Structure 1
Amino acid sequence: MGKTATWYKEFAQNHDNIKHSIAGAGAGIVSSIVTCPLDVVKTRLQNQGKSVPGVKAYRGTVGTLSRIWHEEGIRGLYRGLGPTILGYLPTWAIYFTAYDYCKGRWGKEFGHDKEWLVHIASAMSAGAASTSMTNPLWVIKTRLMTQNERTQYRYRNTLDAFITIGRQEGIRGYYKGLGTSLFGVSHVAVQFPLYEKLKNYLRADSDTSGSTSILLASSLSKMAASCATYPHEVIRTRLQNQTRKPFKYKGIRHAIKVILEEEGVRGFYKGMPTNLLRTVPSSAMTILTYEILVRKLDQMKNL
């Protein structure tokens, strides 16, 4: 009887891990396909440094969308979708699995009186794990989204980019911007604890349905986290796009100094309106899809 109980407990735990992996990956794919054009616009605006005479600059969300459409067509608006999908598969799978595992394990150690600490530690650990393991795909995604007739790099597709980066830049090329991305782990440390709090608060309101509370909580928490941590995305994009020496930005601190001198504080917030326009519905869609998939998988388990 004891062995049977132990086996069932292990089976249930494995099922939960698989469930969260599938739900996380599926949610990431849905949101990335829908919001890819805005992701392209945001990335190009982030990568745009100070104005250069004779070089046409991207202007705002609508202006950039229109320009890409006229110059590159529909394919231009979906540049980088391949590595984005490939990236979201492991990223969200790793993230949600690690998040739920850490939340369950540390919840037993800290108890309910320190629930806020459990959420923060779980979010940061899961974010660091997923970011470190998938950084090469995000480097490729960023370069594909920003490449045009003026860039030093021209990749035919995801595989060509992977091979070219490895041949020309070595293993370090795959991990450009990783340090900045790890600083960005603070993003999820703000978003998910706030999401959990808002979701519980809104669910306590009898006038708010389950799906509505999830959408509101995810949107508000994502907006707050994006505003608080956005500058690291601009720095990361610039570092990831450097291919040939001498590099303009020699590291995170140097990038901060150069951007501040050349573009001022506004330089750290380039593309932020587009980012909010993209990430808020994207996050809402991701988390809602995730919650729905988890419920469906639980129902399948109970059949």
Structure 2
Amino acid sequence: MSGSRYEDSTAAVPEIVAGVSAGFISTVVCHPLDLIKTRLQVHNSAKTWVGSLNVARKLLDEARSTGTRPLRAIYRGVGTNIIGNTASWGLYFLWYGQLKNRVAEYREGQGRHLSSLDYLLTSGAAGVTTAALTNPLWVVKTRMLTSGSGSPGAYRGLAEGLYRITVEEGPRGLFRGFLPSLFGVLQAAVQFMAYENLKIWRRESRIETSLSNNGLQCASRQQSSSKQGSKGHLSGGLGHERSHSQPQADLLSNSDYMALSALSKVFAGTLTYPYQVIRSRLQTHDAATVYSSARNAVFQTWQSQGIAGFYRGLGPNLVRVLPATCITFVVYENVRRIF
């Protein structure tokens, strides 16, 4: 029993390290785009904040008016964002990996492989748990990213934000936007389902291509060898080549991980993006006075902006999430290889 627990804890280490590393690197690189996307999501006036360039210009104007350095302005809230993303990815990959391994063991006993539904459910379960534990971090992050450092009531950091929300709004304030964030769990579940299936498809494609190429090479060698009367030697060579080429073909390259993660993210992100807009609007400083509920936020968004309102910030979001997603999955897969 103790041996099993030790193996479980050892197996969890690569998932935690890979998830934390992926979350940290992707956040540091892509935080400015995250800031622009968040501000686009929560602002209702199409006249003031039209497009990402206007948002960036507004940020620089805020920096000049408050005497803040431009770099510091576009990285406002980065500490909270790093903590949130490293915690989220670390926990998510940990639980997803553990749950997937358990289901895989069960399916193996049945003589079956993991299905798309298995990937969907395991990633969904990991996502719900992660969302519940990290929601307070996202509330503080959203409020920091949607307010300048000199704005009235602005938080100076994560600790102050958590303390003030608890004192001023109670524990309920820490879980604002939690219900819409569960739709984000759906996005992650759809993305991981697509990603895992794309990996299987790409791996099998590479293996088939490798074996086909080996077959052509061996046929060519056999013709050459038959002229020299050495068919027996060639037969041994074919087995040797397959034993070495198949494992190599089974390993995907970094370009594969980038392409597959990007495709799965575009598919899942476009499908579920509206929830991010509603969640961000429910997590702003004045959300309690503007929206009475998540349903009311949906109604107001539809009434004032129509369907386009649910996709505000989608452009910068895709620009942001694609590099972030590629970085996250490439780092994750490579760190796992180390172990």
TM, length-normalised to structure 1: 0.89
Q: What is the percent sequence identity of the aligned residues?
A: 33
Match of 1:230 in 2: 273
Matched, 1:290 2:290: no
Match of 1:240 in 2: 283
Residue identity matched to 2:10:
H
Match of 1:102 in 2: 99
Write out per-residue CA displacement over residues 116-139 of structure 1, whole angstroms, 9 at most, x where no aligned residue: 111000110011010100100000
In the TM superposition, residue 62 of structure 1 has moved relative to its aligned partner by: 2.6
Q: CA RMSD in A?
A: 2.0
- Of 288, 291, 294, which aligns to 1:252? 294
Match of 2:161 in 1: 161
- Of 48, 52, 67, which aligns to 1:57? 48
Residue identity matched to 1:249:
Y
Match of 1:193 in 2: 193
| Alpha-carbon distance in 2 for matches of 1:244, 1:102 | 36
1:213-228 equivalences under 5 Å are 213-228=256-271
| Alpha-carbon distance in 2 for matches of 1:108, 1:22 | 23
| Alpha-carbon distance in 2 for matches of 1:80, 1:177 | 18
CA contact (8 A) 1:214 1:284 kept: yes
| Alpha-carbon distance in 2 for matches of 1:29, 1:150 | 27
User: Structure 1: 5+ residue runs without aligned partners?
Assistant: 1-5, 299-303
Name the CA shift for 1:283/1:291 in 2 (closer, same or farther; >3 Å): same
| Alpha-carbon distance in 2 for matches of 1:153, 1:224 | 38
| Alpha-carbon distance in 2 for matches of 1:180, 1:244 | 14
Name the CA shift for 1:265/1:153 in 2 (closer, same or farther; >3 Å): farther
Matched, 1:92 2:89: yes
- Of 247, 250, 254, which aligns to 1:211? 254
In the TM superposition, residue 243 of structure 1 has moved relative to its aligned partner by: 4.0
Residue identity matched to 2:33:
L
Name the CA shift for 1:205/1:106 in 2 (closer, same or farther; >3 Å): closer
Match of 2:227 in 1: none
| Alpha-carbon distance in 2 for matches of 1:244, 1:105 | 41
Name the CA shift for 1:244/1:9 in 2 (closer, same or farther; >3 Å): closer
Aligned length: 287
| Alpha-carbon distance in 1 for matches of 2:152, 2:128 | 30
In the TM superposition, residue 10 of structure 1 has moved relative to its aligned partner by: 3.2
Write out per-residue CA displacement over residues 22-46 of structure 1, whole angstroms, 9 at most, x where no aligned residue: 1101110000000000000000000
Residue identity matched to 1:92:
W
| Alpha-carbon distance in 1 for matches of 2:150, 2:268 | 33
In the TM superposition, residue 202 of structure 1 has moved relative to its aligned partner by: 2.1
CA contact (8 A) 2:30 2:320 kept: yes
Residue identity matched to 2:158:
T
| Alpha-carbon distance in 2 for matches of 1:59, 1:75 | 23
| Alpha-carbon distance in 2 for matches of 1:214, 1:220 | 10
CA contact (8 A) 1:203 1:210 kept: no
Match of 1:119 in 2: 119
User: Structure 2: 5+ residue runs without aligned partners?
Assistant: 64-69, 210-248
CA contact (8 A) 1:37 1:78 kept: yes
| Alpha-carbon distance in 1 for matches of 2:4, 2:149 | 57
TM, length-normalised to structure 2: 0.80
| Alpha-carbon distance in 2 for matches of 1:175, 1:89 | 19
In the TM superposition, residue 63 of structure 1 has moved relative to its aligned partner by: 2.7
- Of 43, 68, 81, which aligns to 1:48? 43
